[in-house]
Structure 1
Amino acid sequence: MASSIGEPYDVVEEARRHGVNQHLVRSMGFRTLHRAPPGVTTTEFGVAAASAAMTKAGLDASDIDFLVVASGNLPEYFHWDLSTAIARDLGLRGVPTLSLSQGCLSAVLAFENIAGLFATRGEVGTVLHISAERVSDEHVNRLGNGTTADSDGAVAAVLRRGHPSLRWLASEQLTDAAYADFFRLEYGGNAAPVPPAGRSNRDVDAGYSIFRYFDGDAERFSAYAEMTDARIAEAVDGACKRAGVQRADLSQVILLHANQVALRNAAGALGIPLERTNADLAASLGHFGGMDPLLCLDIYTDRGAFRPGDLVALAGMSSGLHWFCTLIEV
């Protein structure tokens, strides 16, 4: 595995520069976010991470049988495929590709898709999996209303048939389509291609939109928030059941990089101490969308944080709404 991330910026200083409530930002616990240098694209992040991962594995373009690319943010262009752009720039001529764009779950659930490739295509022995995310600052405020700190970068993993370490065991996905419109961008799609005069997606507070969905009823909103945490735990248990293990067998649960309040709530629902999550890394990295768990897995692996046989859960919640988990055996 290898990663390529943007330049670090102090979150509180960024909040001050952009007129976001600094006290709220401090209470959310993010310390650093990572922003792409001017002109650096999602494609370039993906190519940099992939090139580093292949070099680390001692491979070149001729060794890759299939490319899988996950990205949940706005694409660089419409009617355009990120996976083929990355394949072109990596020199993967004739290599089939798959693009996954189902929000923050795509990168983690891609392991199940890749397991399917290994099961159904005997000629596929090596898959390159890339998760790349870059915030479109013209469309969204990467600090949101002070409760997040979105970052830019990519992480790549080389997956080999029958490899003895970092093995995929099982994945689980839960979906509640009643909340399909949560977290959507209002303008730019074919329903509303152009915003009204004086409006933009940056004017839409997703958190307030969700609260409005519950007619401002604080109790219903709180019940929804508790439900989202409980369903993360349910997804983890579902993956554990598929793998024939228990939640207590997990060495660590690596979650999406939500703020520290949300991470504490998720840890509470899982019944684990915050130290058995990636909360500290999340605070120092910012939220990279769906690549969060893979980025942390890369960092922890490089640090030698795991022992052979450790079980690690990659889990979180995505727009849709979906809850997901993939189990990896170190």
Structure 2
Amino acid sequence: MNGGELYIRATGTWLPPVERVADAVADGRCDAAVARSTRMESVTVSAGEPAPEMAARAARTALERAAAEPGDIDLVLHASFYYQGFDLWAPASYVQRTAVGNQCPALEVRQVSNGGMAALDLAWAYLAADPARIAALVTTGDRFCPPGFDRWRSDPGTVYGDGGTALVVSRHSGFARVRSVATVSAPDLEGMHRGDDPFGPAPFSHRDVVDLEAHKRDFLARHGVAPTVARVAAAQESVVKQALADAGLGLADIDRFVLPHLGHRRLHVAYFAKFGIDPARSTWSWSRTIGHLGAGDPFAGLDHLITAGALGPGDTCLLFGVGAGFSWSCAVVEILNTPSWRDR
């Protein structure tokens, strides 16, 4: 549990236009069985905007909403899932240069889909370590595109969308208070996204296109389905229990749930049925029109609930994050007031 107070001053999201799943099925890009099992309606697809630029656009929105000056930001953390546009390059510095314009530490967090939540956890610890530190900017950005990634087939059960997200967090004030952030990991599951392939000397040494399902098949054949499912369930239950305990709340006290943008079958097994979450109290109805944003689902979901007026003063929200490794994060957020920028 982090020390001191942490508040959210502003959120920001930048998403490109959507493509309908039905159109992808009609032209053969998406399997009809995947469309049926995921129940996705559409996904956001970049027309060429690179991942770090989408993150920077979201950051500029969040910084403007927060009325934050460059000197207010003491840390920039950028999280991502997939390729950021250049080899041996620092996308966090790009976000800092184009959106913030200062010289504070700017670092990248590479924890795939849980990168955004992990960065929030780290930002809180960094700000709490020095009373002179005031605020941090956390961003995410991903573009899932050919030739290396097939948003429809690289990870059956999840359809991927493009976009950028951002949070400005502060030790002093904000429209929402982060009551807790908890993170747990299960490194014995890291092989699920590695499979039986040997380590490669360069990206895409073994396959031209990412195939997460092939790695999972290898791992489950070696370690078994039942033990793996039990390990995942235990870790997930642990992080939820820890986040709620640190916030002094129970699951029944939570008003809204920001869930990963997974397909319906995965969400039903891992969240709706497991925790008794009513889909109507989650971000599902919106996330099924966006797709999985890599590291950005929790921040995008929170931004959506705020701007849509679905969260008001006194409401609590539970943000979920999960990523290969495996790691899980949960954050409890309490809304203190309606942000002045909501209706702009």
TM over 0.5: yes
The CA distance in 1 between the partners of 2:25 and 2:304, in whole Å, is: 27
Q: How does 1:38-57 map to 2 (within 5 A)?
A: 38=48, 40-57=49-66
The CA distance in 1 between the partners of 2:152 and 2:196, in whole Å, is: 18
Q: TM-score, normalised by structure 2?
A: 0.85
Quick one: which of 135, 156, 161 aligns to 1:151? 161
- CA contact 2:305–2:311 (8 Å) conserved in 1: yes
Quick one: which of 209, 213, 232 aligns to 2:215? 209
- CA drift of 1:164 comes to 4.6
Change (3 A) 1:25 1:62: same
Quick one: which of 237, 240, 253 aligns to 1:236? 240
**Greater displacement, 160-169 / 221-230:** 221-230
Where does residue 4 of structure 1 map in the other structure? 14
The CA distance in 2 between the partners of 1:261 and 1:178, in whole Å, is: 25
- Is 1:325 the counterpart of 2:330? The answer is yes
How far does the alpha carbon of each residue in 1:257-305 deviate from its partner, in whole angstroms, 9 at most, with x for none? 1101111112111122222222111211111012101101001101111
Structure 1 unmatched ranges of 5 or more: none
The CA distance in 2 between the partners of 1:117 and 1:129, in whole Å, is: 12
Partner SS for 1:158: strand
Where does residue 135 of structure 2 map in the other structure? 126
Where does residue 289 of structure 1 map in the other structure? 294
Quick one: which of 263, 269, 273 aligns to 1:259? 263
Structure 2 unmatched ranges of 5 or more: 1-10, 336-344
Where does residue 301 of structure 1 map in the other structure? 306
The CA distance in 2 between the partners of 1:129 and 1:194, in whole Å, is: 27
Change (3 A) 1:15 1:165: same
The CA distance in 2 between the partners of 1:134 and 1:15, in whole Å, is: 21
The CA distance in 2 between the partners of 1:272 and 1:169, in whole Å, is: 20
The CA distance in 2 between the partners of 1:249 and 1:91, in whole Å, is: 37
Where does residue 318 of structure 2 map in the other structure? 313
- CA drift of 1:225 comes to 4.0
- CA contact 2:196–2:218 (8 Å) conserved in 1: no
Partner SS for 2:191: coil
Where does residue 340 of structure 2 map in the other structure? none
Partner SS for 1:180: helix
The CA distance in 1 between the partners of 2:113 and 2:323, in whole Å, is: 5
- CA drift of 1:194 comes to 6.4
Where does residue 163 of structure 1 map in the other structure? 173
- CA drift of 1:74 comes to 2.1
The CA distance in 2 between the partners of 1:110 and 1:19, in whole Å, is: 33
Change (3 A) 1:143 1:92: same
Partner SS for 1:72: coil
Identity %: 20
The CA distance in 2 between the partners of 1:61 and 1:164, in whole Å, is: 17
Change (3 A) 1:228 1:15: farther
- CA contact 1:232–1:316 (8 Å) conserved in 2: no
What residue identity is the alignment partner of 1:313? Answer: L
- Is 1:31 the counterpart of 2:31? The answer is no
- CA drift of 1:226 comes to 6.0
Quick one: which of 51, 71, 76 aligns to 1:67? 76
CA RMSD of aligned residues (A): 2.5
Change (3 A) 1:97 1:209: closer
How far does the alpha carbon of each residue in 1:87-111 deviate from its partner, in whole angstroms, 9 at most, with x for none? 1222523222122111111211322
- CA contact 2:50–2:84 (8 Å) conserved in 1: no
- CA contact 1:233–1:269 (8 Å) conserved in 2: no
